[in-house]
Amino acid sequence: MNYRLIVNIAISLLKARWRQTLVAAIGVTFSITMFIALLSFMTGLNGLLDGLILNRTPHVRIYNDTKPTKRQPVTLAPENKSAHNFIHSVKSASGRLEIYNSAAILDLLHHDGRVLGVAPKIVAPVFFNAGTIDITGVVNGIDVQAESSLFHFNDYIVAGNAIDLKNVPNSIILGKGVAEKLLAELGDVVQVTTSQGETMPLKVVGYFQSGLQDFDKVQCYTSINTAQKLLGKPNNYLTDIQIKLHDLNGAPAVAREYGGLFQADTEDIQTANSQFETGSFIRTLISYSVGITLLIVAGFGIYNILNMMIYEKMDAIAIMKATGFSGADVNRIFIVIALSIGLAGGSVGLIMGYILSVVINHIPFKTAALPTISTFPVNYNPVFYVIATVFSLVTTYLAGFFPARKASKVDPVVIIRGK
């Protein structure tokens, strides 16, 4: 079997119908280009949207929730052990919100090999005093370095510097919405009142903007030491411990383990943000579906062109078979034609897809909701290019297989006798 001869014959047939060949190749090129650009843009957009929440959410959160006591005094009485007690209108327990023995818990977490990092936190509802008006807000006492390292805190600071919370005593970074309500400028002092009635002046050293307006209208940040001072609490007072794991998928099991070990409430990221994972999966699925559909449509174009080529070249096929070419040789010739169209069109499509992705990535995209984003997000994942290459070759092979099989079964005697 002379492969060079088969390739030369395939090239001759391609040149004989070069216009149709060019149209087929352009169809593959367009399909691959849109597949790459669409998938890169959609996955980049998914990363941006999910990052607004997921980057700010710990994999595991340890805290103490306010909830009714399950075991009421009447149930604990010895004479009622064998009875069923029905209690209505049970009020929430007046337990403390702080995490018990927080220093020992932090030490244990730092030595757990599954844990990537730990960020302690204090969450406290407050009122911002603006003249005679009290504006509701939430002050988050954070470890600035841990928060920036694990939860990209610096990326959401639109004015000022996050490290000033640590360096400037009694300082605060206001949510953009809170700052607009208070008309507070950098360097101003705002009065903050806790739910216990304690008032403290705090200096504004920055603005925080997450892109979620409802969030930015209430959330503000200060250092853990300042938050403890504001609440009149000791140095070991913490209301939350935020944990980032090496393996995100292990968060539910780790949360259950820590809940039982530390006798505290826990929440994993899958439970807290299940709707975002669902939305991201659906958007990615739609992108793949559209891209693959484009490739299939291009495959039908190749199929039609090869069918027409076989119909017009029946004489040539008959002569080849009469001069010693087997059906398998004829089959290979048309498979080579199909793969050549797919390879040429796919190669150009990969280049054009990358160029189009770069163009999209440089289109200005400015919105007040996303202050850190200046252009459309694009994900340059090499996997997309591998998938596009494989699908283009598979699609064009299948598009050429059936016409090639038809050509291999041509009876040269019937064709020559008809002529």
- Cα 198 to chain center, whole Å? 42
- Quick check: 50 pLDDT over 60? yes
Q: Which residues contact 222 (CB under 8 A, 6 or more apart)?
A: 139, 140, 141, 142, 165, 171, 172, 173, 202, 230
Structure tokens at 254: 């780790």
- Quick check: 299 pLDDT over 80? no
- Quick check: 47 pLDDT over 90? no
- What is residue 96's three-state secondary structure? coil
pLDDT of residue 355: 93
pLDDT of residue 121: 92
- Give dist(CA 231, CA 85) in Å, integer: 39
Reported as a pLDDT band with limits 50, 70 and 90, residue 262 is confident
Average pLDDT over residues 268-274: 78
Nearest CA to 297 among 94, 73, 30, 67? Answer: 30
pLDDT of residue 64: 83
pLDDT of residue 389: 85
pLDDT of residue 172: 92
pLDDT tens-place string over residues 376-389: 888 888 988 888 88
For 32-36, 105-109, 300-304, 353-357, which range has the lowest pLDDT when averaged over its residues?
300-304
- Quick check: 24 pLDDT over 90? no
- Record the pTM: 0.65
- Quick check: 312 pLDDT over 60? yes
What residue has token string 């007046």?
94
Average pLDDT over residues 176-194: 87
Q: Which residues contact 169 (CB under 8 A, 6 or more apart)?
A: 226
* Residue type present at position 131: G
Average pLDDT over residues 301-330: 70
pLDDT of residue 352: 92
Average pLDDT over residues 268-290: 73
- Quick check: 48 pLDDT over 70? yes
Average pLDDT over residues 299-326: 69
pLDDT of residue 260: 87
Q: What are residue 54's phi and psi, to 5 degrees?
A: -65, -35
Average pLDDT over residues 333-345: 80
Give the chain's mean pLDDT. 80
* DSSP state letter for 333: H
386 class by beta-carbon count within 10 Å (0-12 exposed, 13-18 middle, 19+ buried): exposed
pLDDT tens-place string over residues 60-106: 999 887 666 666 666 666 766 677 666 666 555 555 678 888 888 99
Q: Which residues contact 251 (CB under 8 A, 6 or more apart)?
A: 59, 60, 245, 268, 269, 270
The answer to whether the beta carbons of residues 330 and 322 sit under 8 Å apart is: no
Percent of the chain with pLDDT over 90: 8
CA distances from 148 to 107, 121, 152, 207, 273 (A): 20, 13, 5, 15, 21
CA distances from 359 to 41, 284, 353, 370, 376 (A): 11, 21, 10, 20, 10
Residue 185 C-beta-side C-alpha neighbours within 13 Å: 0
- Quick check: 367 pLDDT over 60? yes
For 113-117, 337-341, 410-414, which range has the lowest pLDDT when averaged over its residues?
410-414
pLDDT of residue 351: 92
- Give dist(CA 202, CA 134) in Å, integer: 15
pLDDT of residue 40: 87
- Quick check: 255 pLDDT over 70? yes
The answer to whether the beta carbons of residues 295 and 391 sit under 8 Å apart is: yes
- What is residue 189's three-state secondary structure? strand
Average pLDDT over residues 365-376: 71
pLDDT of residue 92: 56
Element (H, E) at 244: strand 240-245
